[in-house]
Copies of this chain bind each other. A is one copy, B any other.
Amino acid sequence: VKSGAGSAAARTRNRRGEGGKLREEILRAAARLLEENGREDAVTLRAVARAVGISAPSIYAHFDDREQILDAVVAEAFEDLSEAISTAVDQQTDPVRRLEAGVRAYVDFGRQRPQRYRVLFGRIGDGGPFEGGSFELSGPAGETAFGLLVDAITDCVRAGVSDSVDPHGDAAALWAAVHGFVSLCGPDSEFPWPEDIVGLFVRRLARVAAPGSG
């Protein structure tokens, strides 16, 4: 995939004291490169510099090295995901709706920009915000995103709307399933997925009834 001839043609240098703005421009450009190419190695210092409209060495005023840009982009993306989930969950009160809203927010995040999702979760095992296989997105209570999922299922069990006898295991299964679906849903996937596969996963793997029917 070849990118165009660098959209940022005429850049005016930042005023004094506003040099920090370039940091944001760099992150934005790096995120876009990652997203468009779906490969970490598309994010070269020189490609980023071209996209921003600066010379490559200028980046060193804001980042120590190439790896630090990647890390910052990935960290930012994980924050976005965490925030999207929290926002969606907090808009609901019914435990089933809360669970389902969180899962749907996760899936939407992935489907909106499949390449970005792949890069983020392709890092599992290569370090990154993962530990012991789970990921360390911290929620409102400083809990991991996976912990929140377990809690959401547990709440459903307590409310008598889930038959789960192993919320932790079922949360793991649900995460795996959802991750698999998002991973396989490439940018131009034409695969005939069943309607509402997310609802299907939630019902069968978290063992809850459809919301409103319980």
- Complex partner residue of A197 from B114, B124, B172, B191, CB under 8 angstroms: B172
Inside 8 A of A142's CB, which chain B residues have their CB? none
Q: Contact: B191 with A172, CB < 8 Å?
A: yes
Kindly name the residue among A121, A166, A197 whose own CB sees the greatest number of chain B CB atoms within 10 A.
Answer: A197
The answer to whether residues A190 and B125 also contact, given A41-B41, A173-B177, A173-B200 and a CB cut-off of 8 A, is no
Near B by CB (< 8 A), chain A positions 96-141 give 114, 118, 121-122, 124-126, 132-134
User: Complex formed: what's the CA distance from A191 to B185 in Å?
Assistant: 24
Interface string of A153-174 (1 = CB under 8 A from B): 0000000000000101110110
A201 proximal to B (CB < 8 A): yes
Which chain B positions have C-beta within 8 A of A185? 133
Within 8 Å of chain B (Cβ to Cβ): is A44? no
Task: State the oligomeric state as a number of copies.
Answer: 2
Q: Is the interface of A mostly helix, strand, loop or mixed?
A: helix
Select from chain B the residue with minimum beta-carbon distance to A203.
B204
Please tell me if A176 contacts chain B, counting CB pairs below 8 Å: yes
* Count of chain A residues near B, Cβ 8 A: 43
State whether the Cβ of A14 lies closer than 8 Å to any Cβ in chain B.
no
A184 to B181, CA, bound (A): 12
A40 to B124 Cα, complex, angstroms? 16
Smallest distance from the beta carbon of A89 to chain B beta carbons, Å? 21
Q: Does A17 contact B (CB under 8 A)?
A: no
B132 lies within 8 A of A186 (CB): no
CB distance from A171 to the nearest CB of B (A): 9
A193 lies within 8 A of chain B by Cβ: yes
A7 within 8 A of B: no
Task: Report A172-214 residues with CB < 8 Å from chain B CB.
Answer: 172-173, 175-181, 183-195, 197, 200-201, 204-205
